[in-house]
Structure 1
Amino acid sequence: MIFNCDTLDLRAFLALMELGNFHRAAETLNISQPALSRRIQKLEAAVGAQLFERTTRQVAPTAVGRELTPLVRRLLDEFDTSLFSFRDMGMRRGGLVTMACLPTAAFYFLPAVIRDFNEEFPNIRFRILDLTANDGLHAVSRGEVEFGINFLGGASAELDFLPLVDDPFVLAALKDHPLMAMNEVRWSDLQSYRLITVDRSSGNRTLMDSALARSNLQMKWFYETTHLSTSLGLVEAGLGISVLPRLATPFKEHPILTTRPLVSPSISRTIGVVSRRGANVSPPAQHFIEMLTNQWRYHR
């Protein structure tokens, strides 16, 4: 019944049938309205009948259009099912996912997602570059990895940024520290204590200092480290308190450390998936990103 058409023509037909509006259907398909019209016209030529009645206010299906709808839906369902079946077969044979990940996400959160992924696809290998925010962006831009997990990249014209979660900065200290008696801590409350932070080359430090400057606050840091994990080690040793993203803190109950929200101001970073604009990631990487998105949505 249907000749000289492709799956995009069928998806255009189904979107217009379901939405009843060229503008909304074109937006859903991420194409222009003229391109949508051409696809509908191509399908009508293949069928040999008009599928929609067009007026200035609405689009209504013809009798042929209504009759065609269940057939198109079944064809697309069968196509998508077959496509995913072939994709899963390939993924179960093996593959490689390459990513650049912030050390804060790589240390605590990422292993749990990889474990769940490998339970479903045990033959997929991972290459993880745990890099700073700037270095991670460069790795994605140069094509060294398929995608990155970062809090930078949203302003780049060459990269796509898919937001995943807001990651607030929190106070980390020993459980018996006086500030831990509060439900939340103001930045001004930290002035009397020795503070531990990462050095100025860190994107986290730049973000934090900029936000504090907008609130006319300047903190006096006593210890500076290169890595956030070192900051936590100094806190564990009782040398001071540290401000760091919540993702950099242990997920499970820690024997001696705990955290508190920091307010006045509240500062956070948006963690997301960064990829090269227009580039296609491999099926294993795409599936992992989908799993990452779903699990992070319910994280903490």
Structure 2
Amino acid sequence: MLNLRQIKCFQAVVELGNFSRAAERLRTSQAGISHAIRDLEALLGARLFDRTTRRVELTEAGRVFAAAALPGLAEIERAVDAVHDLGQLRTGLVRIAAPPFLGATVLPRLLQEVAQSHPNLKLRIEDVVTDMIAPRVRSGLCDLGVGTFASDEDGLEIQRVLRDQLMVFAPEGHAICTKAEVAWSALSDQPIITLTRESNIRLLTEVGFESAGVPLRPSLEVHQINTALSLVEREAGVAILPTYAFTGLNGRKISARPLVEPSIARDVSVITARERTPSPATLAVRTLLRKVLRDMVPVVG
């Protein structure tokens, strides 16, 4: 059966016009080159070279075979180099799906980390609602996803990165932040800023108030975490947000304390598709993403 070594030996003899020089290029013996060419000629049923004591020339069959085979060999070598580049992280594209808030806070930091560690890798960021992240990773439209996901998501490998607890975010120096933890019942007389019912965080917020036996009467309802943080900074109220909202503080004069009685938490995870082999670039970026999340989000509890 025809093999790549035979074609490479044939190429070396064609280009160098000499068996001994071909053997030097391929770091083998002249006998090894001759053996490979004889096997190739036997497989093809035709003589490929006319040999004399002074030179080696292609026969007509050799010229036909060279015209067809050598361009293909060049393509194979380029393909091998391309795969090696992927393995050595000299090239690669990683597509990441993230909810808008993490896309605006964590992924810019990730871009910096990737640029420093693996400057030849490219990232493509898709900031989408959380419900779209798992389907995009599962279908192969994205390589990585980050966010909060159900533990029984089908077809996904879920790597937990950190525990994310609901917290109260208040203007710096607010009386509610004098203690290390804040009970939900302590919020009864506070103007509450919540996310709208489109967010899973709102559902958890309602669970917290209901469990504490305190009615939830939002003072303000907003769609985005960044909007809630801006309102808190302007002393419009206190906001119930996840721990990862810390990534959006950026020096704002805001304090935060974990909410207890009950403590409500969930996992922030990075996901990949279980049935797809992640590329070396995806694995490298996943490692950096986990590091960035842990660096930017404080450990609570």
Tell me which interval the TM-score lies in, with the shorter structure as reference length.
0.5 to 0.7
Q: Which amino acid aligns with 1:135?
A: M
**Hey, what does 1:287 align to over in structure 2?**
284
Aligned pair partner of 1:270 in 242, 258, 267: 267
Given the alignment, which residue of 162, 176, 179 partners 2:173? 176
* CA deviation after TM superposition for structure 1 residue 150, in Å: 1.7
Partner of 2:7 in structure 1?
none
**Aligned twin of 1:165:** 162
Which of 112-121 and 228-237 deviates more?
112-121
Letter in 2 for 1:108: T
2:113 counterpart SS class? helix
Once the two structures are superposed, the pairs formed by residues 1-300 of structure 1 within 5 Å of their partners are: 86=84, 90-92=88-90, 94-210=91-207, 212-214=209-211, 216-250=213-247, 254-296=251-293, 300=298
TM-score (norm. length: structure 1): 0.64
SS in structure 1 opposite 2:142?
A: coil
CA contact (8 A) 2:110 2:292 kept: yes
1-side partners of 2:266 and 2:176: how far apart? 23
- Give 3-state SS (helix, strand or coil) of 1:109's partner: helix
* Identity of matched residues, %: 26
- The 3 A distance-change label for structure 1 pair 238 and 295 is closer
- Relative distance call for 1:293 and 1:254 in structure 2 (3 A) is closer
Classify 1:210/1:137 alpha carbon distance in 2 versus 1 (closer, same or farther; 3 Å).
farther
- Give secondary structure in 2 for the equivalent of 1:224: strand
Distance 1:163 1:207 in 2: 19
* Unmatched 5+ stretches in structure 1: 1-84
Q: Which residue of 1 aligns with 2:23?
A: none
Contact 2:109–2:292 at 8 Å: present in 1 too?
Answer: no
Does the CA-based 8 Å contact 2:181-2:257 persist in structure 1? yes
Root-mean-square deviation over aligned CA pairs: 2.5
Q: Is the 8 A contact 2:161 2:294 kept in 1?
A: yes
Q: Of the two, which has the highest radius of gyration?
A: 2
Report the Cα offset of residue 138 of structure 1.
2.6
Partners of 2:201 and 2:290 lie apart in 1 by 22
Q: Deviations over 1:232-270 (max 9, x none)?
A: 111122211101011112477734211112111111120
Q: How many residues align?
A: 215
Structure 1 residues 114 and 153 mapped into 2: Cα distance closer, same or farther (>3 Å)? farther
Q: Give the deviation of 1:134 after TM superposition.
A: 0.9
Amino acid at match of 1:188: S
Distance 1:153 1:197 in 2: 22
**SS where residue 272 of structure 2 aligns?**
strand
Deviation, structure 1 residue 185: 1.0
Q: In structure 2, do the counterparts of structure 1 residues 253 and 114 end up closer, same or farther at CA, with 3 Å as the change threshold? A: closer
Change (3 A) 1:153 1:195: same
Structure 2 residues not aligned, in runs of 5+: 1-82
Change (3 A) 1:199 1:180: same
Tell me the amino acid that sits aligned with residue 170 of structure 2. A
Aligned-partner residue type, residue 182 of structure 1: K
CA contact (8 A) 1:197 1:228 kept: no
